[in-house]
Structures are given as structure tokens and as C-alpha cells.
């Protein structure tokens, strides 16, 4: 401590690890261009403000913090003389935003050596030109590498989603093709039977009754409820026995169709009472074709509806033709992502949706939030290895929307829990993950949305909690996240 706390002394600067290798002339320049200031307990500068000064602690205690949502989270606290903070990226010029990346406050009266950002940048460029070039290379190289690998992470996720979507689309498309081919055969058979009926000994009243039975059969198909295997088998036995008792050849082939349409022996008795015994078989086969046609058209409708739903989910997921920033229903984003990832979760993973009914719409970057949901759901699926329960819960938590992903996997071990949000850290085998999924998710939630992302984990119960503010993200959060 010098006799004049506000005076700059070269010997005091030389004692700091940061300046110990400088020459007498360089130390004299620092004292001439910079200043020593005393700060009382309280804030020194605030995250997001223009970075105007480079600070070196001479004595005291500093606390550095980052803004997370509405809170300031402490990231460092030290009393070590020589630690520096502030505008240390000034030498990069206007190629990066010249703002403070964190907030600094002091807890006791503290002395700093302070150098203006422009002077610090000039000093770096003139004194250490080679070092500056190397630092620039490291800084921009790391940023480009992270962007490239982040893009790779997104492409890997897209590839996984594309494979899952292709599989999901293939099933209904194939079902629709099979049903269309079968429908063509049934319509041809129906035309043939209609010709036989028209040429047969049916009276006009009988034909009108058959047409009425046909309409009722169609209505019954629309109302038929799915049956369990045992109940369906019992009804098929009953219908098959009835058809056999009435001399219908191959009646057992007709029984499943009638049962699927919800038609029973009572309905068959009504048909038998309408026509004579000689024309009963022709009438039943014509009605069977009618029922089959309706069932096949229902199958085609279900398949095409499924395809349309998947395409809609893909569009919602990718946010095609949508603004990058908009007010959305979080549940719609979650549903589209879950639908896109259904194939990856597999049949052994039960998905439980515990959505809050009073959740408000919030302003977000939906395309990027879908990437967060993808990363968290993908991690849960990997942890559960095809078997378990994924619970997606939403709630209104004070002035934030809470989205929680809970899985029943083995959990995150204590010794690595503090590292899972670090770039490139992964527990997946080589080639199966870049280690950027959670880092990117953290950046999107915390940096871009001013929200919060936390994890709690014990074996059988791991919960990733995302909190998002109800209000617009501030302008300084609207920057690239990777």
C-alpha cells in the first residue's frame, strides 16, 4: 500500500504478475496513460454496458457475475492482486461487440489500476504485435470452430430427425398404398356383384331394402369402436357360425370384416329376413364388399391424415415460413418436437405430457427452442436406452415459464454433473456426439432468451428444467449463440 492510494507507482505495477516482465519505459507509460482509483463497496461496471476500461486489481476483493434471467449469478470472487477484468478484448476492435461480458462489483474498498480501452488496445498492438496476431487467431479460430461444430451438431440432429421422419412417413404411406390396391380390387368385385344383383330375381322393394341396409352398414362402420383381441375373436366365431349355418361358402373369410365394422348376428338376421334364401349369399357378399370398401377408405384417410400431421409437425418444428422471433404457444413447439422424435424414442419409452392449462404465450425464437427440446429429449432417450418414461411438464413459475424434461434413466453421476454444460464434454461413445448439445442449449436459453437451464439428477429421476421469461428478450440477448 503506497502513501498516496491514488498515485500510480511503477514498483507496485512491477510486482504484479501481469506486468513483471515489462521494461522501465513501459511501466512509466502505464503510469502516465492510466490511473489508480479507489472504489467503495458496490458495482464497478455492468454487463452489457460499453467496455471503456481495463481494470487490474491492486488490493481489495472483486466479484464477477453473469446475468441469468432476472438474476445475477456469481461466477468468480477473488482478492488476488493482479487479476484483471473489463475491456480485455479491446485489441480486437470493432470485429467483436465491445461491451462488458459480465458485471463487476467490490465487497470492500478496493484499488484498481485502470487503463482506457483505446489505450489498452494501442498498447497490445504496439508492444505485442506477434502476440496480438496469435490471440486474434486463437479467438476467431475458436469461435469459428465452435460455430462449425455447432452447425455439425445441428446437422446431426437434422439427420436423426430426417431418418425418424422418413420412417414415420413410410409406414402410413405404405399402408395407404396397400389399402388403395385392395380398394381397387374390392370396387371391381363390388361392380361384379352389383351386376349379378341387378340380373337376379330381386324385387324393387327388396333392392331398396338392400340399399338401405348398405347405408346403415356404412353408418355402422363410422361408429364402430375398436375391439380387444378376445372380444373380436368371440364375435368372429359367432358370425362365422351363423354364416356357416346359413350355407354361406367361405363364411369364415367374411366374418372378420363384418365384426370390424361392428355388425353382428342380429344385423345378419335382419338381412336374411329381407331377402330369400337363394339370394342371401349374393346380398351378403355385396354388403361385405361395401363394408370392406368403407374400411379401406377409412384406412386411407387415417394414413393420409397421419402424413399430413407429420408434415405439419415438421413445418412447425423447422419454423418454415415463420419469423425468427415471435410470440408462440410453447406446447405447440413441444408437441411438434415430440412428434418428430417419436421414432427415436421408440415403443419402449412412454411419453407423459403434464401441461399447465394456464400457460401464456411467450416471445421466443421458436426454431432455436425446438433445438433445445431436441437436445434434451435426445439425451433423455439415450439415457433410458429404449426403456423408461419421459415426462414433459410445463408450469407458470412466478414471472417465468417452466419446461421440465424428466427421464427414468440411470442419472448423471455427481462427479460430472458440473461439467455437462461445458463445450465438447460428452459421455457418449466417440462418433456419437460432439459434446455441444447442452452447451448450445445453455447458450440459447440463457444468452439468447435470458432464461435459465438447470439439472437435478438421482438414479431413476433426472430433470432438466428450462425457465423462460414472459417478456421480450433484451436486445443484447439477440445475438449469435454458437
pLDDT digits (tens, 9 = 90+) for 429-465: 434 444 457 877 888 888 888 889 988 989 999 999 9
Q: According to the model, what pLDDT value does residue 429 have?
A: 46
Q: 15 pLDDT band (50/70/90 cuts)?
A: very high
- pLDDT over 60 at 207, yes or no: yes
- pLDDT over 60 at 96, yes or no: yes
What is the CATH code for 10-127? Answer: 2.60.120.10
- pLDDT over 70 at 424, yes or no: no
Residue ranges per domain, the chain?
Answer: 10-127, 161-310, 324-477
Can you say whether residue 469 is alpha, beta or left, with left for phi > 0 and alpha for psi between -120 and 50 degrees?
beta
Whole-prediction pTM value?
0.45
pLDDT per position as a tens digit, 315-370: 655 554 555 788 989 999 999 888 878 877 878 999 999 999 989 999 998 888 88
DSSP string covering 308-374: HHHHHHHHHHHTTTS-SSEEE-HHHHHHHHHHHTHHHH-TTEEEEEE--TTPPPEEE-HHHHHHHHH
Q: 140 pLDDT band (50/70/90 cuts)?
A: low
Question: Is 324-477 CATH 3.30.565.10?
Answer: yes
Q: According to the model, what pLDDT value does residue 44 have?
A: 94
pLDDT per position as a tens digit, 40-76: 999 999 988 999 999 999 999 999 887 755 567 777 8
Q: 481 pLDDT band (50/70/90 cuts)?
A: very low
364 DSSP β-pair partners:
326
Whole-angstrom CA distances from 145 to 93, 138, 327 are 21, 10, 32
Amino acid at each position: 500500500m503506497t502513501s498516496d492510494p491514488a498515485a500510480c507507482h511503477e514498483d507496485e505495477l512491477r510486482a504484479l504478475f501481469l506486468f513483471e516482465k515489462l521494461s522501465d519505459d513501459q511501466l512509466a507509460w502505464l503510469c502516465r496513460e492510466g490511473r489508480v482509483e479507489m472504489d467503495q463497496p458496490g458495482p464497478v461496471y455492468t454487463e452489457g454496458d460499453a467496455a471503456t476500461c481495463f481494470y487490474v486489481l491492486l488490493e481489495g476483493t472483486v466479484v464477477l457475475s453473469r446475468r441469468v434471467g432476472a438474476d445475477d449469478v456469481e461466477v468468480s470472487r477473488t482478492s488476488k492482486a493482479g487479476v484483471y477484468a473489463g475491456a480485455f478484448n479491446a485489441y480486437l476492435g470493432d470485429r467483436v461487440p465491445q461491451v462488458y461480458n459480465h458485471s463487476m462489483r467490490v465487497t470492500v474498498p478496493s484499488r484498481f489500476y485502470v487503463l482506457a480501452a483505446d489505450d489498452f488496445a494501442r498498447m497490445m498492438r504496439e508492444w505485442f504485435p506477434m502476440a496480438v496476431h496469435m490471440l486474434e487467431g486463437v479467438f476467431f479460430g475458436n469461435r469459428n470452430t465452435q460455430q462449425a461444430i455447432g452447425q455439425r451438431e445441428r446437422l446431426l440432429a437434422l439427420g436423426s430427425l430426417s431418418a425418424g421422419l422418413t420412417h414415420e412417413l413410410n409406414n402410413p404411406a405404405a399402408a395407404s398404398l396397400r389399402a388403395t390396391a385392395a380398394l381397387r380390387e374390392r370396387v371391381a368385385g363390388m361392380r361384379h356383384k352389383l351386376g349379378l344383383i341387378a340380373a337376379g330375381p330381386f324385387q324393387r322393394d327388396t333392392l331398396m331394402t338392400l340399399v338401405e341396409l348398405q347405408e346403415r352398414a356404412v353408418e355402422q362402420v363410422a361408429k364402430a369402436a375398436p375391439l380387444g383381441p378376445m372380444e373380436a375373436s368371440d364375435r368372429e366365431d359367432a358370425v362365422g357360425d351363423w354364416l356357416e349355418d346359413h350355407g354361406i361358402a367361405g363364411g369364415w373369410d367374411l366374418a372378420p370384416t363384418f365384426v370390424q365394422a361392428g355388425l353382428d348376428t342380429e344385423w345378419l338376421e335382419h338381412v336374411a329376413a329381407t331377402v330369400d334364401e337363394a339370394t342371401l349369399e349374393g346380398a351378403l357378399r355385396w354388403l361385405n364388399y361395401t363394408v370392406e370398401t368403407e374400411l379401406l377408405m377409412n384406412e386411407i384417410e387415417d394414413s393420409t391424415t397421419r402424413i399430413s400431421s407429420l408434415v405439419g409437425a415438421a413445418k412447425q418444428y423447422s419454423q418454415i415460413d415463420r419469423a425468427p422471433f415471435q410470440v408462440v404457444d410453447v406446447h405447440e413447439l413441444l408437441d411438434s418436437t415430440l412428434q418428430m422424435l417419436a421414432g427415436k424414442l421408440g415403443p419402449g419409452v412412454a411419453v407423459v405430457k403434464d401441461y399447465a392449462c394456464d400457460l401464456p404465450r411467450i416471445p421466443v425464437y421458436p426454431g432455436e427452442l425446438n433445438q433445445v427440446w431436441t437436445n434434451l429429449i435426445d439425451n433423455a432417450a439415450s439415457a433410458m436406452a429404449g426403456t423408461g418414461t419421459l415426462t414433459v411438464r410445463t408450469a407458470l413459475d412466478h414471472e417465468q415459464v417452466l419446461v421440465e424434461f424428466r427421464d427414468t434413466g440411470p442419472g448423471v453421476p455427481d462427479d460430472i454433473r458440473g461439467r455437462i454444460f461445458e463445450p465438447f464434454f460428452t459421455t457418449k461413445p466417440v462418433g456419437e456426439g460432439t459434446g455441444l448439445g447442452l452447451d448450445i442449449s445453455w447458450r440459447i436459453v440463457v444468452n439468447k432468451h435470458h432464461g435459465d437451464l438447470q439439472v437435478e439428477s438421482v438414479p431413476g429421476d433426472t430433470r432438466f428444467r428450462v425457465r423462460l421469461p414472459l417478456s421480450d428478450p433484451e436486445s443484447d440477448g439477440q445475438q449469435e449463440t454458437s
